[in-house]
Amino acid sequence: MKIKNILTLMACVVYIGLSAGCKKYLEVKSDSKLLVPSKLNEIQGILDDVGQMNNQRTPAYGETSAGDFFIPEIGSLNQLVRDVYVWKKVDYRFPNDWSAGYLPVFNANLSLELLNKVPRELKNSTEWDNVRGSALFFRSYYFYLLTTQFGLGYDPSSSKTDLGIVLRLGSDFNVSSVRATVSESLQQAISDAVAASELLPDEPLVLTRPSKSAAYAQLSRIYLYMRDYEKALFYADKCLKIKSALIDFNADADILGLSLNVPFRKFNKEIIFYSEMSNGFSLQAPSTARIDTLLYASYGANDLRKIAYFRVNGIYRQFKGSYSSSASLLFTGLATDEIYLNRAECRAWTGDLDGAMADLNLLLKKRWKNTVSYIPINANDKPDALKKIRTERRKELLMRNLRWADLKRYNKEGEGIKLERLINGVSYFLEPNDKFYAIPLPSDIIELTGIPQN
């Protein structure tokens, strides 16, 4: 397709353009045979390219660093990988999470600019709104994920000065890269998601497309990270009013077989928006990573997640419960189980303990072996409720690139979670609120742009 040709050309220069904004890379004669997308269906086609917008695009370095897995033979691997494993700064370059995440941002910006040349009319209003809403959602989605990886945890007292990401709001490569603050980065993600929610349909034609429910889920995720529990609750509730289905792990059309290496259908009923994790340094890959033994032991004998999520590999367990329906790819999208847990935690924070436990038990009963009576979880007070909800959050949302953001949030609240990893008998630690929670940027980005390194 001609559109595909021009997108391929743009993809070849987008990384350099986003990195440096240097004119010398733009002094390439254009091919007159290439078609510049100008119709709504052509612009929609840019956003529908799952290879550039959804698949293996979301950051991985945070999951690599979050501590839910270990590598038994890490000592035999090269020095760079070992340094990544124990939270040391490394010299890493293209391709990486930065380039993977900013390509969808570029495509979203390009789509918005092309759309500005197409008049919105009564006959095309639905399609026009979907294109604009989708582009804004994708930009919000990746801005947020990049901020939670490359910026420190949100703190009202410091996030207006803490360095966040580069907010690219246009496709012009000549615009210099400047790091915004964490606060500015998150506020842009919120603004884009709110605008998207006003334009998108309740549910999408396909789950790789954004929707109103996805925009609400995105806003709940952002506000939860910012510890604004009332707003996170508000948007979680709005999302679940549109889409609330849960998979019953006992028997469900979306289960291929709990004991299989690929237990779930790819686009199952819980998925609100579909995306996958990039390869990154591949330490988090299911074939490489072994699940923390204490984490695995925390699943009850009648908890069906113990069968659905894990399989034996040697003397340890590896993760197999991804909603990607793949033994190697990790699902990182938005799903109803996450939003129920968001709402449960927010209800606990706002004093509605009965509502919080109702959400938690609704989810867990779907995960419990139905031949054994499920005993509902109760909470004595808010701290008890939060502890139980957060315990189940970690167990339910394993390997979705959510734990890193949660650790930042919990430690900002004073939980003091200290991570430890072991290489050849030597322990390495990541202290609560360590500066490494703002993961180092790629070295070539720093060299090309001059923006400050973490």
Element housing 196 (H / E): helix 182-197
pTM above 0.75, yes or no: yes
pLDDT band at 31 (very low <50, low <70, confident <90, very high): low
Helices (H), 40-96: 40-47, 50-53, 61-65, 79-85
Average pLDDT taken over every residue of the chain:
94
In the structure, what pLDDT confidence band is assigned to residue 134 with cuts at 50, 70 and 90? very high
Check residue 229 and give its pLDDT.
Answer: 98
Domains of the chain: 2-449 (1.25.40.390)
* Percentage of the chain lying above the pLDDT 90 cut: 91
**pLDDT over 60 at 60, yes or no:** yes
Lowest-pLDDT range of 77-81, 178-182, 315-319: 77-81
Angle of CA points 345, 349, 350, to nearest 5°: 120
Tell me how far apart the alpha carbons of residues 65 and 68 are, in angstroms, rounded to a whole number: 9
pLDDT score, position 28: 45
Per-residue model confidence (pLDDT) at position 176: 95
Distance, C-alpha 142 to centroid of its chain: 8
pLDDT band at 26 (very low <50, low <70, confident <90, very high): very low
Q: pLDDT-based confidence at 21, cuts 50/70/90?
A: very low
**Where does the pLDDT of residue 34 fall: very low under 50, low under 70, confident under 90, or very high at 90 and above?**
low
Predicted confidence band of residue 22 (pLDDT cuts 50, 70, 90): very low
Average pLDDT rounded to a whole number, residues 422-448: 97
Smallest Cα–Cα separation from 287: which of 306, 255, 311?
311
Other Cβ atoms less than 10 A from the Cβ of 123: the count is: 8
- pLDDT at res. 24: 40
- Rounded to an integer, the average pLDDT of 293-320 is 98
Which residue from 64, 68, 35, 12 is spatially nearest to 293, judged by alpha carbons?
68
Q: What is the pLDDT of residue 29?
A: 44
- Structure tokens given for 350: 């706002």
The answer to whether residue 121 scores a pLDDT higher than 70 is yes
Summarize the confidence of residues 348-373 as an average pLDDT: 98
What percentage of the chain has pLDDT greater than the value 70?
93
Judged by DSSP in three states, 9 sits in helix
9 vs 302, higher pLDDT: 302
Tell whether the model's pLDDT for residue 15 goes beyond 60: no
Averaged pLDDT, 398-426? 97
> Bridge-partner residues for 313, per DSSP?
316
Q: At residue 127, does pLDDT exceed 70?
A: yes
Residue 80, SS3 per DSSP: helix
Q: How far lies 431's CA from each of 250, 408, 416, 418, in Å?
A: 40, 11, 8, 5
Does the pLDDT value for residue 12 go beyond 80? no
**Region 328-347 average pLDDT:** 98
415-450 in b/e form (b: 16+ CB < 10 A) is eeeebebeeeeeeeebebbeebbbbbbbbbbbebbe
pLDDT beyond 60 at 25: no
Contact in structure between 386 and 224 (CB atoms under 8 Å): no
